[in-house]
Amino acid sequence: VNALFGDARVAEVKGDDARLQPGIAFQLAGHAREDMNILWRPMQITHKGQQFTALEEDAAEAEVGTSYTFTATLIPARVEWHAPACPKPVIDGPQMAKVVGP
């Protein structure tokens, strides 16, 4: 049941704080909605980094420095999350067998 309702309340966030790690809860503070200032647990994070001066031929015309951003999916930390159940394997069509023995 937890696997079915684990994503009932999720938050999608963007940011640049490299300390965010999947599975490690953090306290949100300062949100405009007071009910959102709770413990949240990241379940999925996508990282994006750029180093504009990495290629020597492009360094003269590149933007300055490096950048890091992420997008993450959060669930409330009080929610007990379980991965969705995998479906049972099914064989399509007939299964032929040769029975041997007494």
Helix (H) and strand (E) counts in the chain: 1, 4
Q: What is the pLDDT of residues 21-80, one digit of tens each?
A: 888 999 989 989 898 899 999 989 999 998 776 666 655 665 667 889 999 999 999 888
Tell whether the model's pLDDT for residue 83 goes beyond 80: no
Question: How far is Cα 1 from Cα 45, in angstroms, rounded to an integer?
Answer: 24
Q: What is the pLDDT of residues 1-28, one digit of tens each?
A: 455 555 567 889 999 988 888 889 999 8
**What pTM was estimated for this model as a whole?**
0.62
| Domain spans in the chain, listed from the N-terminal domain onward | 2-76
